[in-house]
Structure 1
Amino acid sequence: MKWIRWKEASMIVFGSFVLAAAFYHIHVQNNLAEGGFIGIALLVKQYFNISPAVTTLLLDIPLILVGLKLLGKRLAINTIIGATSFSIFYALMERYSPFSLNLSQHLFVASIIGGVLVGAGLGLILRHGGATGGDDILSLLISKISRLSVGKVYFVFDAVVLLASLMYLSWNEVAYTILSVAVCAYITDLVLYNRKQEPVYI
């Protein structure tokens, strides 16, 4: 229990709620694609018919273990908190949420709103020493090695995955998702670095 700092944990849980709400009510309901490990899992599902639940788990576990070794036990614990709370919130919203936000005819608006909310949720989680999965840890590690900001690393990683997704998605869907990812990267950096003290990683 000494590795759990409850103020950090509560902010990570709140960030996960914002993240889940944005993904479900903006991205999913308006057919915007996904980057990161979720996007890779969708590609694997498309061509090999393997469940994204299995793929994301196989991708996450090694990187959580790497994060434990290189970035510290606190990050690993906080990642478990972030990933678990995100999954719970998303499952509850998917099943019980009465809200439907149809912006399919206004994908520019959807991509901007989605990017702002996802970036805010992700920034809160990272700022308080957490992550939502292995791709977050990978971005943190690349940021430390390359000195690129976390948001820029996210943008490059997600853009590569989304370009690969053109094998089964339309240019229109991918273009608006890349716009959302760019907004998300900017907001993530704004939230993560908008204080004098460095973000907590270990």
Structure 2
Amino acid sequence: MKKQDSGMRLPLRLIIILSGTLLLAFTYYHINYQNHLTEGGFVGLALLGKYVLGISPSLSTLILDIPVLIIAMIFKGKSFVVNTFISVGAFTVFYGLMERYSGWVIDLQDNLPLAALLSGVLTGLGAGMVLRGGGASGGDDILSLLISEWKGIKVGTVFILMDVIVLALSLFYMPLKETLYTVMAVVVAGYVITFTTSLGRPKLSKAPKIQPARVKPQDGTVM
């Protein structure tokens, strides 16, 4: 993480990560799922794999996530990967609880532009919070972050490009209308992620070099 966040205490990091994850679970269930917006990123690729190859999304997401997590362990360090596992695990719990117990229905199918706008803002804020806390909400977010640091491109821009490519491929099996509104949500989310992750940080004039994470011998923390 950047120097500005290096002094953030662990309890605060966990609060930020869990709050961002809760916001993501709320958005994916109450906005995306209830209003039939599609998915980009690794989830979208997993759904595409099910449609084209008949591979279960539970298996394909694992296949996609594992190599990215290994790369993240090398370049971002153990604490980043642990925080990512916390976010992924918490998302599963939060989403499951909402799916089972929440009776709140946010029906915006007659106003899909508003649904897309809300999805983009809340998804971007949630994912950005998890990144600021020192983790990621999934393998696709890790990949976006690594490419951003490698190429010096804003993380939100990478997020948009990756999701738009996946959504374009998803047109093989998804309705055009919902896919286009999901693209709108992705673009909004990308800008919000960039804003959230860069808030209070100086702009970089050139791309930082990605180097393997180093560990301080005194306390084992990642530099």
TM interval, short-chain normalised: over 0.9
Counterpart of 2:15 (choices 6, 10, 15) is 10
> Could you tell me how far apart the structure 2 residues matched to 1:51 and 1:13 are?
28
Matched, 1:165 2:170: yes
> Could you tell me how far apart the structure 2 residues matched to 1:63 and 1:157 are?
15
Which position in structure 2 is the counterpart of 1:47? 52
> What whole-Å deviation, never above 9, does each CA across 1:111-140 have from its counterpart, x for those lacking one?
001111111101100011110121111111
Counterpart of 1:135 (choices 126, 131, 140) is 140
> Could you tell me how far apart the structure 2 residues matched to 1:16 and 1:86 are?
6
Which position in structure 1 is the counterpart of 2:65? 60
Bigger CA drift: 29-38 or 40-49?
40-49
Which position in structure 2 is the counterpart of 1:111? 116
> Could you tell me how far apart the structure 2 residues matched to 1:133 and 1:197 are?
26
The AA in structure 1 aligned to 2:127 is L
> What whole-Å deviation, never above 9, does each CA across 1:115-174 have from its counterpart, x for those lacking one?
111111011000111101211111111001111111000000000000000001122111
Q: Secondary structure at the match of 1:84?
A: helix
> Could you tell me how far apart the structure 2 residues matched to 1:128 and 1:10 are?
8
Which position in structure 2 is the counterpart of 1:192? 197
Structure 1 unaligned segments of length 5 or more: list them.
none
Matched, 1:175 2:180: yes
Shift of residue 65 of structure 1? Answer: 1.2
> Could you tell me how far apart the structure 2 residues matched to 1:123 and 1:145 are?
18
Shift of residue 95 of structure 1? Answer: 1.4
Shift of residue 197 of structure 1? Answer: 6.8
> Could you tell me how far apart the structure 2 residues matched to 1:103 and 1:121 are?
21
Q: Which has the higher helix share?
A: 1
The AA in structure 2 aligned to 1:93 is M
The AA in structure 2 aligned to 1:132 is S
> Could you tell me how far apart the structure 2 residues matched to 1:182 and 1:197 are?
23
Query: Which of the pair has more CA radius of gyration?
Result: 2
Shift of residue 47 of structure 1? Answer: 2.2
> Could you tell me how far apart the structure 1 residues matched to 2:48 and 2:34 are?
19
Following TM superposition, the consecutive aligned residue runs of length 4 or more in structure 1 with deviations greater than 6 angstroms are: none
Structure 2 unaligned segments of length 5 or more: list them.
1-8, 204-221
TM-score normalized by structure 1? 0.93
Matched, 1:97 2:97: no
Which position in structure 2 is the counterpart of 1:76? 81
Shift of residue 110 of structure 1? Answer: 0.2
Q: Secondary structure at the match of 1:167?
A: coil
Distance 1:144 1:196, change over 3 A: closer
Is the contact made by 1:123 and 1:192 (CA closer than 8 Å) also made in structure 2?
yes
TM-score normalized by structure 2? 0.85
